[in-house]
């Protein structure tokens, strides 16, 4: 595998992960959260990931395994790997306490504070646990982005952009309670930034483990699991988060727009 491809895939993963820091910066400087835009953007991200998972990633995974093991066995393994990916990311979500869930909606106006709250220690702890929860959650996302980019450049770019959009509100979720508790923009940004580093870390560790025995079957299993992970992220996180802004229709329009853009971009390379 060429080193240029590996570096490019890692660069995309780094870009996606560090967008949590962008969310923190936006929270500092935005007077109000643009809920309409955020709902559309989250829906767009979900549309990209759902479409590409079912139309591009799953079929490629099935084809890769079927070429080695036959159509029937290949299809079974692909389906099992797909749902294993869903189970994997669902278990990670279950390990995060609900009161510290990083996908709870926060808004930029929450940053407009005149004094620290009385329970700032508890809030600070919540911010730290939110950062840790996001770090754990982003680990498989990093591997998914990296593997996709390593396999198909255009696919990797689309997924990296979708994951980056998804990570922006997570950065806000980390920065708001820490800033609220400490009054320090620097601390809020640093913890938000660090939580995003788990995404490229997931890419590096996953690649180091898998590269020694990477073949068509392993690729197919991982790719099918990646599809499952992205479908779960879209259904469990992106769409419900977009809906919490009371912009349901805009979120759906974003989903359709994301699917159209992804479809057109794939057609351009046929």
pLDDT digits (tens, 9 = 90+) for 106-131: 444 444 444 444 556 666 766 676 67
The reported pLDDT for the residue numbered 1 is 54
Instruction: Give residue-wise pLDDT tens across range 206-221.
Output: 778 777 777 778 888 8
Give how many domains the chain has, as a whole number: 1
% of the chain at pLDDT higher than 70: 76
Give one DSSP letter per residue of 180-234, joined into a string.
HHH--HHHHHHHHHHHHTHHHHHHHHHHHHHGGG--HHHHHHHHHHHHHHHHHHI
* Residue whose entry in the numeric block shows the structure tokens 């996606």: 16
In the chain, the largest separation of any two C-alpha atoms, in whole Å, equals: 65
The range of the structural domain enclosing residue 172 comes to 3-267
How much is the pTM? 0.66
């Amino acid at each position: 595998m060429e080193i240029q491809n590996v570096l490019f895939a890692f660069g995309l993963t780094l870009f996606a992960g560090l967008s949590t820091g962008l969310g923190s910066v936006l929270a500092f400087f935005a007077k109000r959260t643009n809920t309409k835009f955020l709902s559309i953007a989250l829906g767009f991200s979900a549309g990209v990931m759902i479409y590409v998972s079912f139309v591009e990633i799953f079929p490629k995974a099935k084809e890769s395994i079927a070429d080695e093991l036959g159509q029937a066995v290949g299809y079974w393994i692909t389906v099992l790997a797909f749902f294993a990916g869903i189970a994997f990311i669902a278990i990670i979500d279950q390990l995060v306490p609900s009161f510290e869930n990083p996908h709870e909606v926060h808004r930029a106006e929450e940053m407009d504070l005149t004094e620290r709250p009385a329970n700032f220690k508890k809030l600070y702890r919540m911010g730290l646990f939110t950062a840790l929860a996001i770090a754990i959650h982003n680990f498989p996302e990093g591997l998914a982005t990296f593997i996709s980019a390593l396999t198909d450049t255009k696919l990797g770019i689309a997924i990296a952009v979708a994951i980056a959009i998804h990570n922006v509100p997570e950065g806000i979720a980390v920065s708001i309670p820490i800033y609220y508790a400490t009054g320090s923009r620097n601390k809020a940004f640093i913890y938000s930034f660090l939580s995003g580093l788990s995404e490229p870390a997931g890419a590096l560790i996953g690649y180091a483990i898998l590269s020694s025995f990477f073949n068509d079957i392993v690729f197919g299993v991982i790719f099918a699991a990646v599809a499952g992970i992205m479908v779960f992220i879209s259904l469990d996180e992106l769409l419900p988060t977009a809906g919490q802004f009371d912009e349901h229709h805009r979120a759906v329009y974003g989903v359709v727009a994301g699917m159209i853009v992804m479809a057109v971009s794939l057609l351009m390379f046929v």
